[in-house]
Amino acid sequence: MIEKHPFGRTGHLSTRTLFGGASLKACSQEDADRVLDLLLEHGVNHIDTAPGYGDSELRIGPWMERHRDKFFLATKTRERTYQKAKEQIHQSLERLRVDQVDLLQLHNLVDPPEWHGAMRPGGALEAAVEAREQGLVRFIGVTGHGTVAPRMHKQSLERFAFDSVLLPYNYVMIQNPQYRADFEALLALCQERNVAVQTIKSIARAQWGDKTPTRDTWYEPLEDQASIDHAVHWALSRPGVFLNMVGDIRLLPKVLDAASRFQAGPTAEQMERDLASQQITPLFS
């Protein structure tokens, strides 16, 4: 089974490997139900989705009718104004077939103009706080992509007491000195304030470039079990950090298998060998 850890100050003991609902964006309900069985088999108790993930919320909805008490349920809003965010929150509740989600996140809030729009009076944060006051959501988080994510998340935490952050974290990204410094500064602040830290892109290999995509991910992922093991175990070796699973249901069993066998992280020498043999390059410049 996958180990559990307190998800920040929420009071929930989440499995350190979280289910990323992006993998359900274009699958059938039958395939989605098979994924649920796999999650239950491995004891995964935390689902992260978003209205921008195609049909994901619609596929998760039937699960919630049967298993709501088994999962910490998170979704997001990509809207930046109060009214549109409010409408999207209510739409997500309907699609997920629930009266309340555990965590609502402001999705990919890293662009400065968008950040100011969401944070100002009449912005999306106001809708999130109102939804929390109404009991529609329990906690509020923020997510981000790219190399600016840790710096912008730190700025977000200095403006508002978010309960969680989500950002990229893998071995090749941490070789970027500026990203490493920004990530460490964010992590220190999150630990000080007991804010949950979720990570994405753990098994990213490279941009697809001229290749024809063969996976349901916008990037080329690692494929073989050994390199997936190393990447997953490297991320999980950071205490308190949560790993969101890959957005391709065909690779989920490999990630879950790796997570269930985690005991210690690989050596830097092993990770360097993987960088060379798998031709791993940063997704973000």
Domain boundaries, the chain: 4-277
- Range 19-40 average pLDDT: 94
Q: Show the tokens assigned to 189.
A: 């602040």
Q: Distance between CA atoms of 118 and 116, rounded to whole angstroms?
A: 6
Those residues with Cβ within 8 angstroms of residue 227's Cβ, 6 or more apart along the chain or in another chain: 203, 274, 277, 278
| 100 pLDDT higher than 90 | yes
Residue pair 74/46 in contact (Cβ under 8 Å)? The answer is: yes
**What pLDDT shows up at residue 1?**
81
User: Which pLDDT band, with edges at 50, 70 and 90, does 101 fall under?
Assistant: very high
| 5 pLDDT higher than 90 | yes
**What pLDDT shows up at residue 50?**
97
Those residues with Cβ within 8 angstroms of residue 162's Cβ, 6 or more apart along the chain or in another chain: 140, 141, 142, 156, 195
**What pLDDT shows up at residue 115?**
97
- What fold does the segment set 4-277 form as a domain? TIM Barrel (3.20.20)
Q: Distance between CA atoms of 192 and 190, rounded to whole angstroms?
A: 5
| DSSP secondary structure of 98-149 | -S-EEEEEETT--SHHHHHHHHSTTBHHHHHHHHHHTTSEEEEEEE--STTH
**What pLDDT shows up at residue 285?**
80
Chain mean pLDDT for the chain: 96
- Range 162-181 average pLDDT: 97
Q: Distance between CA atoms of 262 and 32, rounded to whole angstroms?
A: 26
| 130 pLDDT higher than 90 | yes
> pTM of this prediction?
0.96
Q: Show the tokens assigned to 122.
A: 């009449």
Q: 104 pairs with which residues across the strands?
A: 75, 140
Q: Which of 204, 247, 197 is nearest to 54 (CA)?
A: 247
Q: Which of 121, 79, 122, 83 is nearest to 104 (CA)?
A: 79
**What pLDDT shows up at residue 216?**
87
Q: 1 pairs with which residues across the strands?
A: none
- Range 82-93 average pLDDT: 98
